[in-house]
Amino acid sequence: MGPRWIAQIIIGLMLVLAVPARADLLICNRMSYVVETAIGSENKGALATRGWFRVDPGQCRAVIQGAFEAERVFLHARALPIYGSSPLPESGHADLCVGQQNSFEIASARHCRSGQRLARFTEVKPSESEKGPTVNLAEEGEYTEEQARDAGIQRLLVAAGYDANPIDGIRGTKTDAALVLFLQDNKLPATSAARSDFFDVLLAAAQKVEVTGLSWCNDTLHTVMAAIGTEEKGAITTRGWYRLEPGKCMRPELNGQPKRVFSFGEAIDASGNAIKRGDKPLAWGGDTVLCTRNVRFELAEHANCAARGLTSAGFAAIDLAGRGATVRFK
C-alpha cells in the first residue's frame, strides 16, 4: 500500500525564546503514519544517539527529558512495516549508528559495534513552543495534530480492510461509518477511538494476514434494504433483508470464506415503498437474477421466481478472492 505523496520532514522555524531551566525535547508527529524515531545529539565533538521512540499520529512525545543542551541535533524517522514502502525520504546529513532492539543508547555513534547498524539522520533545528523545544514531522497535507490523528486512523482502517478513503484527516460520514463498523466488529465501546492505545488496536487489526468478507455502506439520504447471495457447490442461497440507515455501514455474516458473493440493495421511503429514480426503482445490483420476497427470507431455489410468488432481482457478483470488499450504495 504505497503513499499517495512523498512525506517530508518539515521543521517549523520560530523565534528563539528563552529555554526554561527544565524543558524536554519533543517530537510531534503531524503525519498519518505511526513512526519510530531516533535522536542524535552532538556536544564538543561527541555524537550520541538514542531510540527507538514510537510516535503516533497527532502525538507529541518527549525523547530527551530535562534540560536539553546540544550543539547539533539529528533525527531519523521510519514508518512501521505495515505501511509497505516507507513514506519518509532517506536523504539526510549524517550516517549514525542505531540499535536493532526496541531501546538503545549509543555514546559514540560514528562507529557501529555488534548489534548496531548505520542509519541516515537529518540535522534539525528544534523550534521553541510553549511545550518546549520541538521537532515536527509533517506531510505535504500540513495536518494539525488533531487532523494527523484522524488521518492516521483512516490509513490504518483502510489497511485493516475498511473503506475510510480518502485519507485526508477530515472526519466525515464515510470515515465515521468505517470507524463504527470497525468498533462493532471488534466488540469495542464507542469511545475507544479516543483511547491512548487505540493505534495499538488498529495496528493489530491491520497486521492480520487476511481481511475477508463483504461490507455495505449507505452513502445516500435514504434507507436501503439489502440482500446477499452466497454460493456453495454451485448453488446460491439468498438472504435478506438487511436495513441500512443513511451514512451507516454493515457487514453481513458469511459462512466460511466464500470466494464470491452476490449483492442487491434497494432504497425505500418512510412507508417502506421503493424509491424511484425516473421510472425505475433506485437499486444497486447486477446481472445475476435471483429470487427475493417482500419480507424476511432465505431462499435456495431461484427458478421461476414469479410463478412461486417471489420477486426477481438482479444481484451483482462480488469477487472476494480471500480479501474484503465494500459495496457503496450512492
Q: Which residues pair with 292 in a beta bridge?
A: 311
Residue owning grid cell 538503545: 104
Quote the number of domains for the chain.
3
Residue 301 Cα distances to 106, 194, 257, 266, 317, angstroms: 70, 47, 22, 21, 17
181 shares its domain with 238: no
Residue pLDDT tens, the chain, 330 long:
434 433 443 333 222 333 343 468 899 999 999 999 999 999 888 899 999 999 999 999 998 877 767 889 999 998 887 876 566 666 677 899 999 777 999 999 999 988 888 888 999 998 887 878 899 999 877 899 999 999 999 999 988 888 888 889 998 998 999 999 999 999 999 999 999 999 999 999 988 745 567 888 888 889 999 999 998 888 899 999 999 888 778 888 887 778 889 999 999 998 899 999 888 999 999 999 999 999 999 999 999 999 999 999 999 999 886 667 889 898
| Phi, psi angles (nearest 5°) of residue 169 | 75, 10
Q: Are residues 128 and 231 in the same domain?
A: no
Domain residues for the domain of 183 are 145-205
Axis crossing angle, helix 198-206 with helix 145-159, rounded to the nearest 10: 30
Last residue of a domain, one of 138, 153, 177: 138
Of 138, 167, 185, which residue is a domain's last? Answer: 138
Whether the CB-CB separation of 266 and 242 falls below 8 Å is answered with: no
Domain contains 12: no
Answer whether residue 14 is part of any domain: no
Identify whether residues 103 and 41 lie together within a single domain.
Answer: yes
Same domain? 31 vs 130: yes
Long-range CB contacts for residues 291-297, cutoff 8 Å, separation at least 24: 291/238, 292/227, 292/238, 292/240, 292/264, 296/240, 296/241, 297/238, 297/239, 297/240, 297/241
State how far the Cα of 257 lies from the Cα of 236, in Å rounded to an integer: 15
Kindly state whether residues 270 and 311 are assigned to the same domain.
Answer: yes
18 in a structural domain: no
Q: How far apart are CA 123 and CA 73, in angstroms?
A: 6
96 and 79 share a domain? yes
Closest C-alpha among 158, 157, 154 to residue 146: 154
User: DSSP readout, 214-282?
Assistant: EEEEE-SSSEEEEEEEEEETTEEEEEEEEEE-TT-EE----SS--SEEEEEEEEE-TTSPBPEETTEE-
Q: For the stretch 245-260, what's the b/e string if a residue is b when 16 or more beta carbons lie within 10 angstroms of its beta carbon? A: eebbbbbbeeeeebee
| Cα four-point dihedral sign 31, 158, 156, 173 | positive
